[in-house]
Structure 1
Amino acid sequence: MSVTSQWIEISSPEGTFGAYLAIPHTRKGPGIVLIQEIFGVNEHIRSVAEQYAADGYLVLAPDLFWRHGHRIELGYDEAGWKRAVELMNATDRYKAQADIKLAIDTLKTHTGLDGRIASIGYCFGGMLSYNTAANGFVDVAIAYYGGGIQNQLDRASEIKVPLLMHFGEQDSHIPIDAVKQIAERFEFNDDVDIEVYPGAEHGFNCSHRDSYNQRAAAEAHGNTLIFLSQNL
């Protein structure tokens, strides 16, 4: 039996929202809440969910833009970028965290959950994954090129779970000085790992973007799987 996937609905005090569920072929596994970029739960994020399901994880990717439209899915062209930034700026991050918590609670009740739960987020989602860790919602957290983490280092002491952060050395959105600032803040926390990928730009993991870097994406995926296997 291969990986299966489907959209499910999650109830919240404000209404229901969609989440993309990917189930491993074993039908059971540790959980991952997968946190989107600013482009919605689009084809790329769904493919990432399916990849982690193929790796043996039960994956749920909540639609965090649901208050602005049904299953908004954007591309990486100029129009997509413009709309994505508008949606990011219009999103209440406290409400997004509440949605993530509901997705985690949904995973906890799924019959296929066999183990603990991690969060993995990309860009906007990377910052949210960092905050999910600080809020104590998950057992492990991973952030790919999390924009703005350097501005939330006052929450560093609240992070009590293993945290892995991936950054591109050539990221035009996250200066290397910001990465150094983050690294200095977590220097004495043995549960926090930071990986910097030479020559990699922002969004290096996304094969749908011009900034895709195959080597960095492969190394980051491998590092993520090792980190999950060691800590989840």
Structure 2
Amino acid sequence: MTPSPPGAQLDLAGTLSGIRRMAPLSLFVVVFGLAFGVAALSRGLSGLETMLMSALVFAGASQFAALELWGPEIPLLPLIAITFAINARHLLMGAAIQPWLAYLPPAQRYGSVVLMSDSNWAMAVADRQRGETNLGMLVGGGIALWVTWLAGTLLGVIFGSGIEEPERFGLDVIMGCFLLAMLIGGRRDLSMLLPWAAAALTAVAAMAWLPPHSHVIVGALAGGLAGLLFPAKQTRKPSP
């Protein structure tokens, strides 16, 4: 059996550490879950349907987008298209950590990505860049986010009221600020500016001229293509 290389380990201690580290950010997720629970009830979903949607889908932006199309007659193809557009970034996120997961047992490998979301993925990637060998941040962080998302949804279902417009309080930018902090705190290499700039510029252009949510795919593909065509130069180690 091929041994797992450095960077491909998962244990209970690492998972618990990931839960603790993600706990502060997870508290903000409760607010969004509450808003979703209230919005889902107002669109005609039952409390059970709302909880099942949060438990099984676990994708806030896609769930809110689905509510916009919800009604007596659900347009299935547009619903599939908009859900794919919003979550297509997970294809690239998964590809980015595939070398890290490649030698893990299948149950650990696929179970880890089931819990993957933007924030725990970003923290796990930052850990990997610092030489961390444990996937606990990805798994434990995902568990923390999933539990608090469910808790917030439950509060919305129980009380039937809450913060329906989190942007009024600036809460909608919390996740963006967090990801920006992870980006800045990661590997400091000027060669990374090119893919960042390509992704940012094409995403902004797509927001202006292309259909909604397509900027997610366009920006990610442009950044990835720039990184592929102009890879970072490897620093040569001095000869002994």
TM-score (norm: length of structure 1) = 0.27
- Higher normalized helix content (fraction of residues): 2
- Higher normalized strand content (fraction of residues): 1
TM-score (norm: length of structure 2) = 0.26
Q: Looking at CA atoms only, which structure, 1 or 2, has the larger radius of gyration?
A: 2
